Amino acid sequence: MLDPRLNTFLVLCETMNYTRAAERLCLTQPAVTHQIHALEEHYGQKLFTYQNKTLRLTPAGERLRDLARPLAYNSRKIQEALAAPVPLSLRVGATKTIGAYAAAPLVSRFLRRHPDAALSLTVENTQVLLAALEAGTLDFALVEGFFDRRSYAARLLRRVPFFGVCAPDHPLAGKQVEPEALLGERLLVREAGSGTRAIFEDALRRRCYTLERFPRITEISEFSTIKALLVENLGVSFLYAPVVERELIAGTLARFDLTGEPLSGAFHAVWLRDNLFAGDWADWLE
């Protein structure tokens, strides 16, 4: 069983507010303060500090948080395994690209191999899924874009082409262009926190541009809306190949590329380091 003081510490890391942490834990605020002070005395390190009246983790606090998260996850999984050793229960997250265009074969294969398994699939953007991993509400996540490899174990699933998309009769269709050519276009981008947007922004940075340089930005979190607007020639976007594969084959959308090295993104499976139960679902990733 996880030390209750560590559980209190992790809840405070999530809320960064003693009052909200006490409410979530059904404790008094002095009890939360006492447990945090007890941890600080135990480890001989200051874990939290206030900067301009805002609660912050110290470097030691950040280190303890990263070490304690797998402990909390493993503790919960051990309790679940002892209470109900069968069937296998798996909570998986997938980014919107993977969830909509790449997850179905993986889900199908897993359920065929484990017909009695309980499976839940949550589709969200990369940042939301990583937060869920850290909170212990997911076992692993299938993500695109970037993540901190110091915090997670990961396995590369595949690399996927990433390119510009527009209407077939758009002047950019079929061309290689500099970012400068996009300044007069309406850019349809995913929401902040999505892997698709992170890949695009990274491609711009490597060409000495940022989104702030582009005056006509429309932020949309849903792929079907983006594609519908592209078909109507109401903007251009940058998407992974699986998202627009059918439309490119049908000729309702066209591809263009930025000059330089072709863009691509990686699809990874990620989970907390020191996860004792990763072997239970390793065949999902084969």
Token code pair at residue 168: 């077939």
Give the tens place of pLDDT for each residue, 122-132: 999 888 999 89
Dist. CA 97–CA 39, nearest whole Å = 41
| CA–centroid distance for 200 within its chain | 15
Residue 107 exposure: Cα atoms within 13 Å on the Cβ side: 19
Residue with tokens 């950040």: 62
pLDDT tens for the chain, 286 residues long, are 678 898 899 989 989 999 999 998 888 998 899 999 989 999 999 999 998 889 999 999 998 988 888 888 888 877 777 776 556 778 899 998 998 888 888 888 888 888 888 889 999 988 899 989 888 889 889 998 788 888 888 888 889 999 999 999 999 999 999 999 999 999 999 999 888 999 999 999 999 999 999 999 999 999 999 999 999 999 999 999 999 999 999 999 999 999 988 999 999 999 988 887 777 776 667 6
Dist. CA 181–CA 240, nearest whole Å = 20
- pLDDT of 86 reads 59
Dist. CA 45–CA 60, nearest whole Å = 7
Token code pair at residue 68: 């304690």
Residue with tokens 């212990």: 136
Dist. CA 251–CA 71, nearest whole Å = 51
| CA–centroid distance for 136 within its chain | 14
Residue with tokens 């979190």: 221
Side chain identity, residue 96: K
CATH, range 4-71: 1.10.10.10
User: Terminal CA-to-CA distance of the chain, rounded, Å?
Assistant: 32
Fold matches, 4-71 and 160-264: no
Instruction: State the pairing for strand pair 217-219/187-189.
Output: parallel
Residue with tokens 């909390």: 72
Token code pair at residue 208: 């000495």
CATH, range 160-264: 3.40.190.10
Q: Please give the DSSP secondary-structure letter assigned to residue 273.
A: T
The DSSP-derived string for 168-234 is TTSTTTT-EE-GGGGTTSPEEEPPTT-HHHHHHHHHHHTTT--GGG-S-EEE-S-HHHHHHHHHTTS
- pLDDT of 84 reads 61
Q: Are residues 31 and 52 in contact, defined by beta-carbon separation less than 8 angstroms?
A: no
Strand partners, 55: 50
Residue 165, CA distances (Å) to 162, 187, 222 in order: 10, 10, 15
- pLDDT of 219 reads 96
CATH architecture under which domain 83-158+266-285 falls: 3-Layer(aba) Sandwich (3.40)
- pLDDT of 244 reads 95
Helical pair 18-25 and 4-15, crossing angle rounded to 10 deg: 130
Domain-wise residue ranges, the chain: 4-71, 83-158+266-285, 160-264
Give the tens place of pLDDT for each residue, 238-282: 999 999 999 999 999 999 999 988 999 999 999 988 887 777 776
